[in-house]
A and B are shown apart, each in its own frame.
Chain A
Amino acid sequence: MAVCVGIIGKDNSPKFFTCLNPAEELNFQYKVLSALDVVEEKLNCGSKGATDLRELYLGMLYTLETHKIYGYVTNTKIKFIIVVDSTNMALRDNEIRSMFRKIHSEYADIVCNPFYIPGEPICSKSFTGSIKNIMTGTV
Chain B
Amino acid sequence: MAQCKQSPQEFIKNVFTPQVAIMCTPIAEKSCQKNNLDFIELLQPFSRLNNDVHYKDPLGANNTIHSLKITFLDINWRPPQTPLARKLLNSSVSNAPECRNKIFQIGEHILDIPSGTPWFESWRDTFMRVQYPSDHEFTKHFLACILVVSSSDNNPVETVEKLAQSLNQLHSREPGKLPKWFSSNILKYYVIVHDNIEGDMTLAVKTFDSMKISYGTTSCFLLKINSRSPNPESSEHLPDPWSQFINSQMDMKECKTSVDNNSMRTSLEIGQEAEEVRNVSNYHPLSPVSEDSTLTDYVNDEDKLSKIPMKPKTHGACLSTDDVEQVKLLVYEFAKSRLLPYIEKQILMLNDVVSNKKGVSKSLFSATKRWFSPNKPGASSVAVNNLIYSPDSPELQIRRLGDLYFMFGHYSLAFQAYHLAKRDYNTDQAWLYYAGALEMAALAAFMANESSRKTFDYMEESITTYLNTCKMPQFATRATILSSECLKCQAMYGEAAHQLIRMTSEESDLRSALLLEQASYCFLQSKMARKYAFHMVLSGHRFAKSGQRKHSLRCYKQAYQIYENTGWDLASDHIHYTIGRQANNLQHFDEAVDSFVKLLKGESKQTPLQQALFLKEYLTILGSKLKTESEADQVQNPILPVPELDVNSLMLLVGPTRPLSTPGKVSALGITFNSAADQSAETKWMKLEEMLVQEAEGGQPSVFKPIVTLHTANKLGKSKPVAIINEPIQIFLNLFNTLQTLLHLKDIYLLWTFNTGTDIVSNEVMDSKKDEYIKTYITKAVAIEGASKQELILSLTPLMTGHMTINGFCYTLTGSNAAMETSFIKGKQLILVPESTAKNVQNSVDNENKKVVIEVDVVPPAPCLQVVFSEIHHDFLANELQKVSVDFCNTSSVPLRNILMATSVPHLLSNCEFKCDTDHSGTHDLSTPAAREKYVRKNHLTSVPLPGNVLEPGQTIPIHIWIRAPNVKGPTSIDLLIYYENVVKTSIPRYRLVRHSWNLMVQESISVDVSTQASHNSKIVEELALALKITNLNKVQNSVLTEVMLLNVGLLSKHWTLTKDMVTPKYINLHSQQSAHILLKARRAVKDQSEYSSIPLSRDKKSIQIHTNAYLAFARKAEKPPLTMFDDFDTFSFKPNKDGLLLLQWQALAIEGNKKRIVNGQTQIPVEINRKEEDVIQMEHILSDPIIDISDKVISEEEAAQIAQKQVSYNLVYHSVVEHNFEEKKMCIVPVKILLHSIVDRNVLSVVVNTTEPSVKPPTIRKSNLFYTNASSNFCWLGNTKILRTLHPLTTDTVHLAVVVTGPGTFDLGAHIQVSCKKVDQAESYILQSCQIHSTLIVMNVAI
Q: Which residues of A contact B566 (CB under 8 A)?
A: 11-14
Q: Mark B596-615, 1 if CB is under 8 A from A, else 0.
A: 00000000010100000000
Contact with A along B577-617 (1 / 0, CB 8 A): 00000000000000000000000000001010000000000
**Which residues of chain B (512-545) have a CB below 8 Å from chain A?**
528, 530-531, 534
Which residues between 598 and 650 of chain B lie within 8 Å of chain A, taking CB atoms?
605, 607
Min Cβ gap B305→A in Å is: 41
From B108, B531, B534, B571, A11 is in contact (CB under 8 Å) with B108
* Set A13, A23, A37, A40: member contacting B568, Cβ < 8 A: A13
Residues in A with CB closer than 8 Å to B528 are: 40
Give, as a whole number of angstroms, the nearest-CB distance from A9 to chain B. Answer: 8
User: Considering the complex, which residues of chain A in the window 30-66 have a beta carbon less than 8 Å from any beta carbon of chain B?
Assistant: 33-34, 36-37, 40
Task: Say whether B1065 faces chain A, with CB atoms less than 8 Å apart.
Answer: no
A33 touches B567 (CB 8 A): no
Interface residues on B, range: 10 to 19
In chain A, what residue has the closest Cβ to B606?
A: A26
Is B570 interfacial (CB-CB < 8 Å)?
A: yes
Cα–Cα distance between A40 and B528 once the two chains are bound (Å): 10
B568/A15 in contact, CB under 8 A: no
Q: Are B534's CB and A33's CB within 8 A?
A: yes
**Cβ proximity bits B97-131 to A, threshold 8 Å, 1 near / 0 not:** 00000000000100000000000000000000000
Contact of A12 among B530, B605, B607 (CB under 8 A): B530
Contacts of A26 in B (CB 8 A): 570
Residue in B108, B565, B567, B605 whose CB lies within 8 Å of A15: B567
Report A-chain residues with C-beta under 8 Å of the C-beta of B530: 12, 33, 36-37
Q: How far is the CA of A4 from the CA of B531 in the complex (A)?
A: 22
Q: How far, in whole Å, are A33 and B559 apart by their CA atoms in the complex?
A: 15
Which chain A positions have C-beta within 8 A of B565? 13
Q: Mark B559-579, 1 if CB is under 8 A from A, else 0.
A: 000000111101100000000
Give Cα A5 to B722, complex, Å: 58
Within 8 A of B (CB), among A66-110: none
What chain B residues lie within 8 Å of A23 (beta carbons)?
607
A32–B531 alpha-carbon span in the complex (Å) = 13
Question: Bound state CA distance, A97 and B568, in angstroms?
Answer: 26
Whether A29 pairs with B571 at a CB distance below 8 angstroms is yes
By a CB distance below 8 angstroms, the chain B residues around A40 are 528
Q: Classify the secondary structure of B's interface with A.
A: loop
**CB closest residue in chain A, given B534:** A33
Assembled-state Cα–Cα distance A34/B568 (Å):
13
The contact string, 1 if C-beta is below 8 Å from chain A, for chain B 54-82, is: 00000000000000000000000000000
**Cβ-defined contact, A37 with B531, below 8 A:** yes
Contact A14/B605 with A36-B530, A37-B531 known, Cβ cut-off 8 Å? no
What is the bound-complex CA distance between A40 and B108, given in angstroms?
Answer: 17
Q: Flag A8-26 by CB within 8 Å of B: 1 or 0 each.
A: 0001111100000001011
Nearest CB in chain B to that of A28: its residue: B570
Docked complex Cα distance between A13 and B568 (Å) = 7
Report the separation of the CA atoms of residues A23 and B566 in the bound assembly, to the nearest whole angstrom: 21
Q: Find the B residue at minimum CB distance from A120.
A: B567
User: Does the CB pair A25–B605 fall under 8 Å?
Assistant: yes
**Closest B-chain residue to A15, C-beta based?**
B567
Residues of A within 8 A of B567 (CB): 13-15, 121
Q: Whose C-beta in chain B lies nearest to the C-beta of A16?
A: B567
A30's closest neighbor in chain B, by CB? Answer: B571
Within the complex, what minimum Cβ distance (angstroms) separates B960 from chain A? 59
A33 touches B568 (CB 8 A): yes
List the A residue with the shortest CB-CB distance to B570: A26
Residues of B within 8 A of A36 (CB): 530
Q: Which residues of the other chain, A, contact B571 by a CB distance below 8 angstroms?
A: 29, 33
Complex interface: chain A residues within 8 A of B568 (CB): 13-14, 29, 33
A59 vs chain B, min Cβ distance (A): 21
* Minimal Cβ-Cβ distance residue in A for B568: A14
Nearest CB in chain A: distance from B936 CB, A:
48
Shortest beta-carbon distance, B854 to chain A, in Å?
A: 35
Contact with A along B221-236 (1 / 0, CB 8 A): 0000000000000000
0 or 1 for each of B999-1032: is its CB under 8 Å from A? (1 = yes): 0000000000000000000000000000000000
B570 pairs with A29, CB closer than 8 A:
yes
Asked if A25 contacts B570 (CB within 8 A), the reply is yes
CB distance from B304 to the nearest CB of A (A): 42
Least CB separation from B529: chain A residue: A12
Give the residue name and chain of the B residue nearest to A12 (CB). B530
Residue of B nearest to A40 (CB): B528
What's the Cα separation between A121 and B534 when bound, in Å? 22
Interface of chain B residues 133 through 157 with chain A (CB within 8 A): none
Which of B567, B571, B607 has the largest number of chain A CB atoms within 10 A? B567
- Nearest Cβ on chain A to B1157's Cβ, whole angstroms: 52
With the chains together, A29 CA to B528 CA distance in Å?
19
Give the distance in Å from the alpha carbon of A121 to the alpha carbon of B565 in the complex: 12
Give the residues in chain B near A33, CB-CB below 8 Å: 530, 534, 568, 571
Contacts of B570 in A (CB 8 A): 25-26, 29
How far apart are the CA atoms of A82 and B736 in the complex, in Å? 36
CB distance from B497 to the nearest CB of A (A): 12
In angstroms, Cα B193 to Cα A59, docked, is 76
Chain A residues with CB below 8 A from B607, complex form: 23
| B524–chain A nearest beta-carbon distance, Å | 15
Question: A37 to B528, alpha carbons, bound, how many Å?
Answer: 9
**In the complex, which residues of chain A have a beta carbon less than 8 angstroms from the beta carbon of B531?**
37
CA distance A23 to B528 in the complex (A): 30
In the complex, which residues of chain B have a beta carbon less than 8 angstroms from the beta carbon of A34?
534
Q: How far is the CA of A13 from the CA of B566 in the complex (A)?
A: 5
With CB as the reference atom, state the residue of chain A lying closest to B607.
Answer: A23
Contacts of A14 in B (CB 8 A): 566-568
* Complex alpha-carbon distance, A13 and B533, angstroms: 13
Closest B residue to A8 by beta carbon equals B567
Chain B, residue nearest A37 (CB) = B531
Look across to chain B and name the residue whose beta carbon is closest to the beta carbon of A22.
B605
Q: Tell me, in angstroms, the Cα distance from A15 to B569 when the chains sit together.
A: 11
Bound-complex Cα distance A36 to B566 (A)? 14
CB distance from B506 to the nearest CB of A (A): 19
A36 to B531, CA, bound (A): 10
Q: How far is the CB of B1273 from chain A (nearest CB, A)?
A: 97
Report the minimum CB–CB distance from A111 to chain B (whole Å).
17
Name 11 interchain pairs, CB-CB below 8 A, sorted by A. A11-B108, A13-B566, A23-B607, A25-B570, A26-B570, A33-B530, A33-B534, A33-B568, A37-B531, A40-B528, A121-B567
* Other A-B pairs beyond A12-B566, A23-B607, A37-B531, 4, CB < 8 Å: A33-B534, A33-B568, A34-B534, A36-B530
Which 3 residue pairs spanning A and B have beta carbons closest together? A13-B566, A13-B567, A26-B570
